[in-house]
Amino acid sequence: MSRLDDERIIGLRVWHLQLPVISARDHGIGRVDHTIDIGVLECQTTGGINGYGEASPWAVFTGSVEASLAALTRYMPPHILGRRLSERQSICRDASQAVAHCTEAKAALETALLDATGKALGVSVAELLGGAVRTHIALSCSLANPDFDADLELVKRLQDDQVNMVKLKTGFADHQFDIMRLETLRKHFPDLAIRVDYNQGLSPYGAEAKVLDVASFAPDFIEQPVASRHVDVMRRLRTLMPVPLLADETVFSLADMHRAAAEDICDGVSIKIMKSGGLSQAQQIAALAEATGMAAYGGDMFEAGIAHLAGTHMIAATPNITLGCEFYQAKYYLKEDILTSPFPIENGNVILPQGDGLGIDPDLDKVKHYAVQSWHMEHQS
Ligand SMILES: [Mg+2]
């Protein structure tokens, strides 16, 4: 019997948090204002280990927080409680099959099981996922404030922090606003690496000219200009564009990745554990992207520190995610994060924590402070 066979999951706690943010943000797909909604999961074992995971939904993108919380509190617990940590893959599979979609809840479950397993074995989540191939991940911060002057102040702060990469969110206002912002950024911050993300914000009619205008500013890549269903438009834009085209909303699952490659619609993909339904699936998507010659980027949703940590361990252990990450919210967007120590960012890089499991725990006082609802489920032996 291994240590993991001794550790059974005997309790689950779930919190629905509403975390205040510092500003509004506009994206092609929708707006965020005032607060973000997340779910936090705690898996308690017989040996007193607590593993943590985070579900970070966005209603217009992956799904609603209500659906994630229902998955975590109603549909998944019968497949988790009473089982051994050594059954991690079976638990995730059974719980995933118990409820359709809800990929953020599935990501939270795998994160919590990996965190608990790492703590039980004295290894990090990255080691459980194959071992780190990198410990530093270049950080990109997204610019999506409808008040562009506030975003310019943010860029100055980022440069003071040696963060030299931004992703400009486009397509939520008119085209001239996008061009004006690109001109301003190129003029005042000539060394800044710029990526562009439309979040599906363009209609196919007239998309070509707008995308080519934006491409003339030589961004590193342009992400998801049109809705995921417009496969033919994505393919045509890719052939016209002088810069790489990334898919985001088009690729949630491994099957989506396979289809995107077969349909030849992109040069790279934004990989998010909240889309794939977990860290292992994210690694598989990255591997398939690599096999088809595509690059991969470490995207995220509107997340707090636990999800950032999970993404950091996953990217650290996934060779093909070479385009950096966007785990900026904990430091640059939330009024307060929920970790016991700050999410680690140094000199423009996210740093892989060295401790067991995720390496940093949530501060439960903060979790309770921001909770608007909570649940506690126990194994009935
Ligand atoms: Mg995107």
| Ligand 1 mean position, distance from CA 338 (Å) | 24
Q: How far is the CA of 199 from the centre of ligand 1 (A)?
A: 5
Q: What is the CATH number of domain 3-122+364-378?
A: 3.30.390.10
Place of tokens 């061009």: 179
Cα-to-centroid distance, 92 and ligand 1 (Å): 26
The per-residue pLDDT for range 47-91, each reduced to its tens digit, is: 999 999 999 998 888 889 999 999 999 999 999 999 999 999 999
With vertex at residue 198, the alpha carbon angle to CA 155 and CA 252, rounded to the nearest 5 degrees, is 110
Would you say 221 and 246 are in contact if contact means Cβ atoms under 8 Å apart? yes
pLDDT single digits (tens) 101-144: 999 999 999 999 999 999 999 999 999 999 999 999 999 999 99
- Asked whether the predicted pLDDT for residue 234 surpasses 80, the reply is yes
Amino acid at 294: M
Out of 3.20.20.120, 3.90.1150.10, 2.60.40.1120, 2.160.10.10, the CATH code matching 128-351 is: 3.20.20.120
Distance CA 246, CA 256 (A): 14
pLDDT given at position 1: 58
CA distance 190 to 186: 5
In tens, the pLDDT along 257-284 reads 999 999 999 999 999 999 999 999 999 9
369 CA to centre of ligand 1 in angstroms: 30
CA of 97 to the centre of ligand 1 (A): 27
Instruction: Report the DSSP beta bridge partners of residue 44.
Output: 11, 50
SS3 120: helix
For position 24, what pLDDT does the model report?
A: 84
pTM of the model: 0.97
Tokens, residue 374 = 């909570």
**By three-state DSSP, how is residue 247 classified?**
strand
pLDDT at 193: 98
- CA 246 – ligand 1 centroid, Å: 8
Examine domains 3-122+364-378 and 128-351 and report if their fold is the same. no
Quickly list H helices, 271-360.
273-276, 279-291, 305-316, 329-332
Q: Tell me how far the alpha carbon of residue 249 lies from the centroid of ligand 1, in angstroms.
A: 7
Of 314, 320, 271, 297, the C-alpha closest to 115 is 314
187 CB contacts (<8 Å, ≥6 apart)? none
- How far is the centre of ligand 1, averaged over its atoms, from the C-alpha of 47 (Å)? 40
Distance 191 CA to ligand 1 centre (A): 23
**Cα of 357 from ligand 1 centre, angstroms:** 28
* CA separation for the pair 120, 7 (Å, rounded): 8
Which residues lie across from 159 on neighbouring strands?
A: none
Distance CA 61, CA 104 (A): 11
Does the pLDDT of residue 255 top 70, yes or no? yes
Distances from the Cα of 20 to the Cα of 33, 157, 302, 334, angstroms: 9, 20, 11, 6
Domain ranges of the chain: 3-122+364-378, 128-351
Average pLDDT, the chain: 96
DSSP structural state of residue 21 = B
Nearest 10 degrees: Cα torsion 366, 339, 306, 125: -140
